[in-house]
Amino acid sequence: MHGIALGVAYQGTHFHGFARQPGMRTVYSALLQAVQCMGSDVTELRGLSRTDSGVHARAQVVAFDSQQAIVSRGWVLGLNHHLPADLAVRSARTVPVGFNPRFASLGKRYVYSLLVDPLPDPLLAHATWHVHQPFDFDLARAELEAAVGTHDFAAFRSASDTRPSTERTILRCSVTRNAGDPRCVDLEVEGAAFMHNMVRILAGTVVDVGLGRKKPGTLALALASRNRQDSGRTAPPQGLVLAASQLDWPEGTGEAWPASA
Amino acid sequence: MHGIALGVAYQGTHFHGFARQPGMRTVYSALLQAVQCMGSDVTELRGLSRTDSGVHARAQVVAFDSQQAIVSRGWVLGLNHHLPADLAVRSARTVPVGFNPRFASLGKRYVYSLLVDPLPDPLLAHATWHVHQPFDFDLARAELEAAVGTHDFAAFRSASDTRPSTERTILRCSVTRNAGDPRCVDLEVEGAAFMHNMVRILAGTVVDVGLGRKKPGTLALALASRNRQDSGRTAPPQGLVLAASQLDWPEGTGEAWPASA
């Protein structure tokens, strides 16, 4: 058997999220189908992050074990031949059999993008949350700062997330105007692990403060109260992208393509 | 009666182009439906440019006549309320009844975007033509220069275009690396009027030269021969956007919203 880990990117608009769901077009099913098109016996994939319906990724990692001896470059070029335009393999490397990227995660960086403008822009609609002015950029920036560090994020997860521990660590965050398009504001959040909807509720809270719908200090108060009622809206999925991921590659990780990946 | 001209933007991916076509989802039909949702008796729209299926626009102009007295701001905000996420009205102004933007056009600027990379990028797939390296940027830039000026562009139109005159004027063109993403190359072409597929055949020819599939000088030779066989491929639609338009607004053009539009 041979273990393979793929670097995967997708535009989430027309996927029902990453995870396998019977009868649904998901990233998992489209990718598995492409792997099988290469003559493989693979029936199970292991993903780094279960991104939601509509959420995008530049840095998803997906591992599987195959009886085929195919070099990394072969997996990348071969799979892209079988994948639709909204899903691509960007890199591959050989890993030990059974490798699960979720348990090797050192950190993930999410970017949530806003279009701050009085008018909608259809060319950005699939990749931004359109918020109307007046949006107070400085208030939003100050608000997100409170998320940095190790906190109990119980107020920042969806009801569907029932994992016992709600403590997480945010290593870094920022709110910046997009250099290429000053109407766009990017919220970046970097951490080791996240709960379901956590980044989207952080973004929704920050936007609610930036728009004056919630008072400055809401995020810190919700961290303290641990009550979902005290945090803000869940920001819609299309603004979110899994932008980067860092893995603790195990011993036995082998040749990669491209070499720089 | 009141004449209205709208500034319209759309992501063309899921539209069968601009023009009215029975049973098809076109920009025309979606926009007309929104106008009618506002209680209007309008049955005909007049567009600046019949963009193809999959082509995007930031600067389409669409005029119509209505018996309703609605201020420009009302048209913009009201129509956007009824439009899907991939289509928006960005501005409006009052114009003389019967105004046709096509006959008032002073110039249009199209941008054709390439992704020059060994690997596909799903987050750009809807907005770029993916061309593989090695792509010779300098050759491509020199090639497009030959299009500037007044020429017979008979070799640069689709067979479906049967207008008698094939002489057109390109005022300006450029090939630049995208500042925000150096993998992307933008071909810009500005002119008073274009034939069907003209920009896409110009782009295809330039890319064929940049990739070494055609010799440098192909574009100039095809202008001279007037033979479609001598020009390059028709570049796919998703890389093209109608980026700007300049109109000769007639006397009687009135209040606009936003005022800066």
pLDDT at A226: 97
Q: Which residues of A touch B80 (CB under 8 A)?
A: 119-120
Handedness of CA A182, A187, A190, A195 (dihedral sign): negative
CA distances from B171 to A130, B176, B178, B188, B195 (A): 35, 17, 21, 11, 15
Could you tell me the pLDDT band of residue A84, with boundaries at 50, 70 and 90?
A: very high
- Whether the CB of A125 is below 8 Å from some CB of chain B: the reply is yes
pLDDT at residue A261 above 70? no
Give CA–CA dist B155/B70, Å, rounded. Answer: 46
pLDDT, average across residues A65-77: 96
pLDDT digits (tens, 9 = 90+) for A213-258: 999 999 999 999 999 999 999 999 999 999 999 999 999 999 999 9
Between helices B72-82 and B27-37, what is the axis angle to 10°?
110
Q: Tell me the residue length of chain A.
A: 261
pLDDT at A179: 85
Delimit the CATH 3.30.70.580 region(s) of chain A. Answer: 2-99
Delimit the CATH 3.30.70.660 region(s) of chain B. Answer: 105-242
pLDDT at residue B260 above 80? no
pLDDT, average across residues A181-210: 96
CA angle centred on A122, ends B85 and A24, rounded to 5°: 50
Q: Which residues of A touch B88 (CB under 8 A)?
A: 119-122, 125
Q: Which residues of B touch A121 (CB under 8 A)?
A: 9, 88, 90
pLDDT at A259: 83
pLDDT at residue B244 above 80? yes
pLDDT at residue A41 above 90? no
- Whether the CB of B88 is below 8 Å from some CB of chain A: the reply is yes
Give CA–CA dist B117/B181, Å, rounded. Answer: 11
Nearest neighbour of B58 by CB, restricted to A10, A76, A123: A123
The pLDDT mean for chain A works out to: 96
Distance of CA A128 to the CA centre of its chain: 14
Query: Do A240 and A200 form a contact (C-beta atoms < 8 A)?
Result: yes
The candidate with the shortest Cα–Cα distance to A2, out of A92, A104, A103, is A92
* CATH 3.30.70.660 is right for the domain spanning B105-242: yes
pLDDT digits (tens, 9 = 90+) for A87-108: 999 999 999 999 999 999 999 9
**Which of B15, B75, B123 best probes binding to A when mutated, by most A CB atoms within 10 angstroms?**
B123
DSSP A118: S
Distance from CA of B203 to the nearest CA of A (A): 21
pLDDT, average across residues A4-31: 97
- Whether the CB of A90 is below 8 Å from some CB of chain B: the reply is yes
Cβ–Cβ gap A121/B88 under 8 Å: yes
pLDDT at B261: 62
The pLDDT mean for chain B works out to: 96
Q: Which residues of B touch A11 (CB under 8 A)?
A: 122-123, 125-126
ipTM of the complex: 0.92
Q: What is the 3-state secondary structure (H, E, C) of A164-205?
A: CCCEEEEEEEEEEECCCCCCEEEEEEEECCCCCCHHHHHHHH
pLDDT at residue A39 above 90? no
Nearest neighbour of B9 by CB, restricted to A10, A86, A122: A122
CATH of domain B2-99: 3.30.70.580
- Whether the CB of B56 is below 8 Å from some CB of chain A: the reply is yes
- Cβ neighbours of residue A104 closer than 8 Å, sequence gap 6 or more: A247, A248, A249, A250
Give CA–CA dist A102/A97, Å, rounded. Answer: 15
No. of helices (H) and no. of strands (E), chain B: 5, 11
One-letter amino acid for residue B182 of the chain: P
Percent above pLDDT 90 for chain B: 94
Give CA–CA dist A252/A247, Å, rounded. Answer: 14
pLDDT at B40: 83
Residue located via tokens 């070099």: A71
Cβ–Cβ gap B9/A121 under 8 Å: yes
Give CA–CA dist B93/A79, Å, rounded. Answer: 50
pLDDT at residue B81 above 90? yes
**3-state SS, residue A141:** helix
The candidate with the shortest Cα–Cα distance to B245, out of B3, B4, B80, B8, is B8
Give catalytic status of residue A138 as yes or no: no
Handedness of CA A247, A248, A254, A255 (dihedral sign): positive
**3-state SS, residue A151:** strand
Q: Which residues of B touch A118 (CB under 8 A)?
A: 258
pLDDT digits (tens, 9 = 90+) for B155-212: 999 999 998 999 999 999 999 999 888 999 999 999 999 999 999 999 999 999 999 9
DSSP A117: S
**Which of A55, A119, A183 best probes binding to B when mutated, by most B CB atoms within 10 angstroms?**
A119
The radius of gyration computed from the CA coordinates of chain B, to the nearest angstrom, equals 19
Query: Do A2 and A68 form a contact (C-beta atoms < 8 A)?
Result: yes
Give CA–CA dist B244/A37, Å, rounded. Answer: 44
Both structure tokens of B120: 């596909």
pLDDT at A116: 97
Give CA–CA dist A55/A236, Å, rounded. Answer: 9
Query: Do A20 and A28 form a contact (C-beta atoms < 8 A)?
Result: yes
